[in-house]
Every structure is written in structure tokens, then in C-alpha cells.
A and B are shown apart, each in its own frame.
Chain A
């Protein structure tokens, strides 16, 4: 079946540091890939997505590139801020599918 694996953290960085959160997936066909962010006490918000190989999703300084050859969708940001502290979930939705499969989430803490 489909699955998503991501580094579980927690990840603690200083402000303005470079962020990478690794995400790899297992799926048949060509799934769509997503990163969601969950701030404390809140639901999930879509951060970015990519629907086909080599697509790059980007938003709020975050980027992730859909790599079919390595089945990866790593999240990166060049300079994190304290306000980026949250839990980040990598997810996929299979082609033609309805529901999402989520990774375990990575808690990021950014210190001033």
C-alpha cells in the first residue's frame, strides 16, 4: 500500500538557519505530493504541493521538488523564523484517489 516516511525530529534550529525535512514515499503510479503545516492547537494548513515529477512547490519561502527517481519530496527553507515553529506533515494522494496518506510529522522548533 501507499506510505510516507519522514524524519520525525524534533528538529531544533536557530533563527535564520537552513532547514531540510526529508520525506520519501511508496506509491504506485504517480501520486500528488503535499506538505501540510500544523501550528499549536490548530488544524492542518496546506503549505505547498506538487502533482507531477520534477514539479517544484513553493510557498512562504519553503520549497519542495517532486523527485520520481528517488521517490522523495524533501522540504527546504533557506532561513527559518521563530514563527515557522510547527509540526510539518508530508502527505501523498494517489492518482485518482480521494484520501491522503500522511507521514508521522516533524516537529520544528526555531529559537531566537
Chain B
């Protein structure tokens, strides 16, 4: 099946700094990418949807200025958590799909803000 690579898998950062998470589709062109956040023992909550070359569409309650999403190419999307705080600590997962196929998920990034 198609491969989506997410990097880094784990990151620890200091409060107030910014962290960038990359999501790459390795063997297909991802016209659409999704970013999810997973709280401990909870389900995945969609944060935003991004189409290549367009601004991301954020779900209600997600701060667009805090969670910056860039989808500059058909194989790469990035999520930057700006001015991170401990409450931003979470598991972030991306998924990617071509125009009419199912979506494939990355392995996730565990962010810890100290």
C-alpha cells in the first residue's frame, strides 16, 4: 500500500518555542492532506484539511495562528506548532490521499512541551 512518512516520531521542546512536523507521501501525489490530534485515550480529532497550493481549512476551535499548516507540494505538508505550551502536548497524526482514493496515515508524532 501507499506510504505516508511523518517526521519526527517524537519531539520534546521547551515552552514558548516552535516545532515543525513534516508529513510526506512517498509513492503517490497527495492532493489533500489532513492533520489530526489525538488526546490520551481519546479518538482522533480533525484539526485541518489542506489542499496542495491552497490555504488550509481549519476545524472549529482550532487556532490557525497557532497551528500553521503548509501544503506547498503534492508530497509534503508541514504542521508548525508556534509558541508551544504544555497543553499542546499530544499525538499528532497526518493522513494523505490522492484525488479519489482512500487516505493513508502517517505513524504519528508525539509532542511533549516542557
Residues of A within 8 A of B (CB): 32, 34, 36, 41-46, 49, 89, 98-100, 102-105, 107
Interface residue ranges of B5-23 to A (CB < 8 Å): 6
Q: 5 smallest A-B Cβ distances: which pairs?
A: A43-B107, A43-B108, A44-B105, A104-B43, A102-B43
Q: Evaluate contact between A89 and B108: CB separation under 8 angstroms.
A: no
Q: Evaluate contact between A99 and B46: CB separation under 8 angstroms.
A: yes
Contact with A along B25-42 (1 / 0, CB 8 A): 000000010100000011
Q: Evaluate contact between B49 and A98: CB separation under 8 angstroms.
A: yes
Given contacts A43-B6, A89-B44, whether A98 and B106 have CB atoms under 8 Å apart is no
Interface size bucket, B side?
20 to 34
Residues of B within 8 A of A (CB): 1, 6, 32, 34, 41-44, 46, 49, 93, 95, 97, 102-108, 110
**Cβ contacts under 8 Å, A107 to chain B:** 41
> What would 17 A/B residue contacts be, using CB atoms closer than 8 Å?
A34-B102, A41-B110, A42-B107, A42-B108, A43-B93, A43-B108, A44-B44, A44-B93, A44-B105, A46-B1, A46-B104, A46-B105, A98-B49, A100-B34, A103-B43, A104-B43, A105-B43
Q: How far is the CB of B30 from chain A (nearest CB, A)?
A: 12
State in angstroms the CA–CA spacing of A45 and B105 once bound together. Answer: 7
Q: Evaluate contact between A98 and B105: CB separation under 8 angstroms.
A: no
State in angstroms the CA–CA spacing of A105 and B93 once bound together. Answer: 15
**Cβ contacts under 8 Å, B107 to chain A:** 42-43
Q: Evaluate contact between B102 and A46: CB separation under 8 angstroms.
A: yes
State in angstroms the CA–CA spacing of A103 and B32 once bound together. Answer: 22
Q: In the complex, which of the residues A41, A46, A99 has the most CB atoms of chain B within 10 Å of its own CB atom?
A: A99
Q: Evaluate contact between A99 and B6: CB separation under 8 angstroms.
A: no
**Cβ contacts under 8 Å, A44 to chain B:** 44, 93, 95, 105, 108
